[in-house]
Amino acid sequence: MSDTILKAENISKQYRLGTVGTGTLRDDFKRNWAKLLGKEDPFLKVGAVNDRSQKSTEDYVWALQDINFEVKQGEVLGIIGKNGAGKSTLLKILSRVTAPSTGIIKSRGRIASLLEVGTGFHHELTGRENIYLNGAILGMQKAEITRKLDEIIAFSGCERYIDTPTKRYSSGMTVRLAFAVAAHLEPEILVVDEVLAVGDAEFQKKAIGKMQDISQGEGRTVLFVSHNMASVRSLCTRGLLLENGSITLDGEIDTIVNDYLKLTITEFNLKQRTDRSGNGKIKVNNAQFLNSSNEVVQVISSGDYLKMRVSFDLNDENIEHLIFGFSISDVQGNLKAMTVTDEMALNINNLIDRGYIDVEFSKLPLRGGSYTIQLVFSENNTSVKNHLDVIDNALSLKVLEGDYFRTGKINRKYDAMVLDCKIG
């Protein structure tokens, strides 16, 4: 027997833009007549690609188009892509919340979905009552829910408020309880959307740990959508990259994440920057971050290899002692780290003719956050009068929380350094 537990075949989903329905009696008649005859909807033959950045000239749009993939039992599949790529629509189809316009879904076993905060909850009911309600919606027997009740309540961390109506819960408490129900009622397939982002950092780690237990320990299947690449990398083994409603890549998760991060790259034309200072003997013309594969990146995980390459034009060959420095600040402008070559007793004059300088981090020591880089070239010392070129906010870098110490634990998200020190 095949170990494939979920299969999507030629899945497409079409929506009409603007008003609901076809908009005219004639078009409604055509659609219903085709349905009576057992023929294909004539309006499925038209429609624009799902590119939310472009104004459509069509009345219909394909939210998804020709989606094909299989998921094995016990596999954790990450589904990533930009906003509007079709991720949530795909999960709703897989969860039977909405039907595809074309194609079929084949699955074995029960599917539990957590797509929105409080899905299936009645907010006039208490947390305890909602556990039974949500469990029944998921197809569980009352006795089965009762057996798991204490475990669900303990995992949610909502014991104090379990007999309070959920309309008085915060969004974070609601998602805690909803996830606890979905995760503990033993579905063969668990479908989780970005909804976990509503929870706090402690609960997100707890939820990811539970999903790892479900997939690795219990052999259950998880489909996970998130914009948090650190969570995707730590949880998933395989991924799908969606773009404009189509799968552009299906493969190993690190490859998928790297391709997704490339979509966010913005070019920095430092050569044209006029908001700089210095006498101009050297002028930076380009700067970029490179990963271990020598690919340009602007998003990287804490603890990963990173290289910053700074290229420059030489306008005066008479430079006695070249000094290079850079500083890293958070988005509020608070200085977080700084390095200057004269403090390291480095002579980098031999790099002048080469025209670029590389700064390498074998393990990036920044925690999760957004950072900006200031670049400084100077001669002999770092006094203002000896500055050759200074550019503030020359580069920006987004750092994801990562497994810096390679222990299986994702580090905390703070605009700070990771101190890799010996403790004993």
Neighbours of 207 (CB within 10 A): 23
First and final C-alpha spacing in the chain: 53
Mean pLDDT of 376-401: 92
43 falls in which pLDDT band (50, 70, 90)?
Answer: low
Do residues 94 and 114 touch, judged by C-beta distance below 8 A? no
Q: Which of 227-236, 313-322, 333-342 has the least mean pLDDT?
A: 227-236
Q: Is the pLDDT higher at 327 or at 118? A: 327
pLDDT above 60 for 55: no
pLDDT tens track for 165-205: 999 998 888 888 988 888 787 788 888 887 666 666 677 77
Which has more confidence, 331 or 356?
356
The answer, yes or no, to whether residue 21 has pLDDT greater than 60, is no
Q: How far apart are CA 353 and CA 237, in angstroms?
A: 45
Residues 248, 69: Cα–Cα separation, whole Å:
12
Q: Is the pLDDT of residue 356 over 80?
A: yes
pLDDT computed for residue 198 by the predictor: 63
Quote the tokens at residue 189: 């397939």
Task: Output 91 or 218, whichever has higher pLDDT.
Answer: 91
| Whether the predicted pLDDT of 84 surpasses 50 | yes
Number of helical (H) and strand (E) elements in the chain, helices listed first: 8, 20
Average pLDDT, integer, range 105-116? 83
Is residue 1 predicted with pLDDT exceeding 50?
A: no
Q: Which domains does the chain have, with CATH numbers?
A: 68-262 (3.40.50.300), 270-400 (2.70.50.60)
Residues 237-271: b if buried by 16+ CB within 10 A, e if exposed:
ebbbbbbbbbbebeeebeebbbbbbeeeeeebebe
Please determine, for residue 302, whether its predicted confidence score (pLDDT) is greater than 50. Answer: yes
**Position 40 confidence tier, pLDDT thresholds 50, 70, 90:** low
Higher pLDDT, 323 or 333: 323
Q: pLDDT by residue (tens digit) across 202-230?
A: 777 777 778 878 777 778 898 998 877 77
The amino acid present at 224, given as its one-letter code, is F
Percent of the chain clearing pLDDT 90 (strictly above): 43
Q: What is the mean pLDDT of the chain?
A: 84
